[in-house]
Each structure stands twice: as C-alpha cells, then as structure tokens.
Structure 1
Amino acid sequence: MSDVPVEPPIHAVRAAVAAALAEDLTPLGDLSAALVPADATIDAVFASRAAGVLAGTACATEAFAQLDPAVTVTWRHHDGDRIDAGTTVATVTGPLAPVLTGERTALNFLCHLSGIATLTRRFADAAAEGGDARIWDTRKTTPGLRSLEKAAVRAGGGASHRGNLSDWVMFKDNHLAAIGIEEAVRRARTAWPARTIHVEVDDLDGLRTALTAGCDAVLLDNFTPDQAAEAVAIADGWAADHGGRRPLLECSGGITVETAAAYAAAGVDLLSTSQITQSAPALDIGLDVRG
C-alpha cells in the first residue's frame, strides 16, 4: 500500500459534488425521477468497461449521500487500484429515485478522475523504465476541481506539485524577465524564509545562476534528455563542491509517455506534464442494474 494519500480533502469533495448536483437540479429538481414510485428500490453495480486505475470513489459516494443517505454504496475497489474491463468496482442499493438522480453526477466524477489516474499510471510506468523520476502534475487543472484532480494523479502513482500560488515561491520566465534569478531568490529568502524557492531556467547558464543563488528546486524548461543529463551532472558537481545537497531538478516540456523513460534516465527528480490533467480521456465506467 502506498504511503501517499490518494483521497482528496473531504471539504473539496462536498463542495464539488454540491455544485454538480445544483447544476443538474436547478430550478425544479429531477422531473423524471420524481415520477417513479416512491417505494421503488434498486440493486446495481458500478462496472468498468475498460482497464484502468480507479479514482473518484469519494465523489461518487458523496453524490448519493447528498441526495439520500438511505442509498448505500459498497466499494470493492478503491482509489489507486488497477481494474480490468468487466470489473465490478462497487454495489449501489437503496431507493430508486435518488440513485437515478445522482447517477450521472457520480459517473462524471468517477469516469473523469479515473481517466486522470489511468493516464498518470501510464506515465509513471514509462518513467520507471528509465529511472526514479516521479511524474508531477501542474496547476493546469479544471477550475474548481484541482484538489480532486491532483488526488487522482496521486492515485495513478504521480506526485502533487504546488496546490496553488500560496504553497511556495516559484519564479517563471515572466517573473525573471523583470527581476532576474539572483535578485528574485534574494527577495524570496527575505520575504518568505521558510518557503521553498523554485526557479525556471531555459539553459545551462541559467541553471548555474540558480545554483549559485541558492534556490531549492529548478525547472529545466524544454530541455532535451541529453541536456537534462548535462544539467544533472552540473548540479551534482556543484553540490559536491559546496558540501551540500543539490536542488530538486524538474523537467517540463516535451514530456510524453514515449519520452518519459529517456528523461528519467537523465537522472532528474521530477517530470511535470499538463497532459495528465488536461488531456486524459475518461475511463468508461457504467452503472448497471442487477437482476
């Protein structure tokens, strides 16, 4: 079992589900479900139509809980589990009307977040063929769903980058165009002495400057695998000369499932890609009535 928490914060789950249900039920509620017999019940299963990695179970459970606590969802698999096509991942029993009302909301979260976990797992497996680099997400997430999508990345074997702009100091090219690496790092150390300082560079000279300035992490932007390997050698040499640990090295730009192994083999620590949150196809999961 992984030591990395893969469940999203419960407050984020509740807020996202409440917003999704409001989108479906405003202003008059579920007109169709209101017409089924009040005493009708359902016995159904969530079943995967394709192989992948499961995520979003908390959101699916919450969708029914907010509609009617009498609906019972029993999970046979959990976030982070690999599942095959045809796998029953959960059973759903209880009053029919709220299940019908919450079905699409539950599946929207389940399919979307499982898709992210599945694509992340592909990246993580590919990177593992080359080295120890972790797959890192970005802030390129669906507005309002960041905590959920980042949890899905973790469920797929990835790691979470900063959650928002308050987490740590990160200087990208547009920041550095105004103040430069050395001055940026100096100001950050003065203003936020306990915060991680992360600097983007686009060449080896920029890396050398970032090392001298004393940053905690360096983003190697659009480096090739060979350039990344050279950057690792420079950073390792700098650390040896200065009797300390080198900053974390992240590669971003050009990271695909096909190139992940080569970048990992270069010896960097992290590979970041927006594909896992912006371009992941939904995993096909359905709700099927039993009997």
Structure 2
Amino acid sequence: MLISDIEHYLQEDLGFNDVSCTLVPDMEVHAVIFAKEDCTLAGLDIARSFFDYLGINAETEYDQGNTIREGDVIFSLRGSSVSILRAERVVLNFLGHLCGIATLTRKCVNIVRNFSDAKIACTRKTTPGIREHEKMAVIAGGGDPHRFNLSDAVMIKDNHIKMMGIESAVGSARKRASFTQKIEVEVESTEDALLAARLGADIIMLDNMDPGTVIETMAALKKASVPENIVIEVSGGIGPENLEEYAKTGVHVISMGSLIHQARWVDISLEFLS
C-alpha cells in the first residue's frame, strides 16, 4: 500500500485531536490479533503496511488464503502501545472486511468443485477506493478477479446493445480494441448468444438466465459447433443458495457480485497481553 494511502486512512480515523490513544503510557507492549471465528485469510499485506509504517514488529505464521480456526492468532505484535492503538481499528476493519470476502469466495469455490471446474469470479461491484484490495481478497479465497477496470477487456453490455445492436458494437470493438484485449458480449437469450459466437466474441456472458435456460443455451452452442476457445460465463442473481444449480450447467465462469457486496465481515480482535 502506498504511504499516501496509509496516511489517508490513519488520518481519517485519528483526526486532529486524538486523546483516546494517548491516554495510555507510551511503552513497549505485546499484543495479538486473533480470529473470533473460522475464516480464510486476506489483507495480511495491508495490515503489515500499517505496522511497518508505525514501527510495530508484526509476526505471523500464515499466508494469504490460509484457513484458520476460531481463536487462532493471526499477528503477534510488539511495539509502542500508542502506535498499536492507532493501528488497531484501521487494521481490524481491513482484515474483517477482506477476510469476509475471502471466506465467502472459498465457500463458493468449494461448492462448485463438487460439480465442475468452472471458475468463480467477482465483478466490478466493489467499494470505491479499495477495489484492488477486495479483488485480491477474492483471489485469496481461490476465486478469479475478472476485470480490475474497464481497460482490461472490452465488455459489450445491454445498454451498448440497445444503442448499437450486437453487430455494430462488436464491429466497433474489433476496430478499437488492442490485440491484447478480449471482447466479451453480454446476452440475455439463446439467439443472441449464437449471434455473439458467430461474430467472434471471445467471451459470452449469459446474463440473468435461470439454470434451465443456461443448459438449453449451452446445448444450442454445442450443436452450432461454436469454437471451444470461446469462454461462456454466467452472471446475475447468483449466490451460495443457488450456486450448485449453475455449477451443473457446464459454463466456464460463474461471476458473482455477491462475493463482495454480500460478504459478511469476519470478527477479528486485538488484545494487549502485556
């Protein structure tokens, strides 16, 4: 994390008259950060950035993506009591949020693995300012980050199609996109999926289709001898409760905005030992 970002987050939390953290004697102390529930770890690098900036020695035996149990110590800390108090809330907020995303992602990946090799991916439905960290948490949970931003790939969505039509939109994308950028087309019907395939889309997203319609569309694409290198993705209204049905459809990618915007924070705490 950039020093400017670290300072911004600390300033947001500390303000200009931090009496709370300076009430205690500034002395060398030992503290631990521990999980109060089972979870998958993410955000360890961010936590360490704050500890390094504040001169706190932080030791951990874990890596990103490790699964830990309730009561496990994530970090053992030694340093200034004032500095540890000042790092506490910002670090716990990042860890709680990002471990929540990683934990939900791991749960979804495990559900899908029982039925297929489909990738579980997130979307651009992220918190402004911390997208990079949220997507890295998805990776820690075993998921795929999808596009980090609009420049990573060209996605032709429903509003593009309403204004231009699929043919014009794909044609324009072919002219303007770099050879390194894949072109993805979002479709809502089997007919449009077949059209997108004929137009040479690299990725076809089946948007807001129920599992039965997805199966029918996959069969139609196979019957039409669509090239095997075309990636078929499904998205829209998918969560842990219906993920199993989508995992059985044969798609290559299942993208879920819920990995981030419905992830519950993990309960993580800090305690002084001496």
TM-score w.r.t. the length of structure 2 is 0.95
Deviates more, 1:155-164 or 1:55-64: 55-64
The letter of the residue matching 1:19 is H
SS of 1:33's equivalent? coil
Q: Corresponding residue for 2:217? A: 231
CA contact (8 A) 1:44 1:93 kept: yes
**What does the per-residue CA deviation read over 1:2-29, in whole Å, with 9 as the maximum and x for residues that have no partner?**
xxxxxxxx44xx554332111012323x
- Which residue does the alignment assign to 1:248? 231
Q: Structure 2 regions of 5+ residues with no counterpart? A: none
Match of 2:130 in 1: 145
* Mapped partners of 2:83, 2:107: distance in 1: 36
Q: Alpha carbon RMSD of aligned pairs, Å?
A: 1.5
* Cross-structure match for 2:107: 122
Matched, 1:18 2:18: no
For structure 1, the residue ranges without an aligned partner over 5 or more in a row are 1-9
- The percent identity for this pair of structures is 37
Shifted more, 127-136 versus 147-156: the winner is 127-136
Task: Report what 2:22 is aligned to.
Answer: 34
The Cα offsets for residues 110-168 of structure 1, whole Å up to 9 and x where unpaired, read as 11100010111111111112211111101111110000000000111110110111111
Distance (whole Å) between structure 1 residues aligned to residue 188 and residue 157 of structure 2: 10
2:188 aligns with one of 197, 202, 206: 202
TM-score, normalised by the number of residues in structure 1: 0.89
Residue 219 of structure 1: aligned partner: 205
Distance 1:183 1:288 in 2: 60
CA distance in 2, matches of 1:20, 1:235: 49
Structure 2 residue identity aligned to 1:37: P
How far does residue 89 in structure 1 lie from its aligned partner after superposition? 1.4
Give 1:5's aligned residue.
none
Contact 1:132-1:269 at 8 Å conserved across structures: yes
1:55-74 to 2 correspondence within 5 Å? 55-66=42-53, 68-69=54-55, 71-74=56-59
Does the CA contact (< 8 Å) of 1:235 and 1:246 recur in 2? no
Larger deviation, residues 259-268 vs 112-121: 259-268
Distance change (3 Å), C-alpha of 1:264 and 1:89: same
* C-alpha distance in structure 1 between counterparts of 2:48 and 2:221, whole Å: 47
Show the counterpart of 2:66: 81
Amino acid at match of 1:210: A
Which residue of the partner structure matches residue 157 of structure 1? 142
**One-letter amino acid matched to 1:196:** K
1:4 corresponds in structure 2 to none
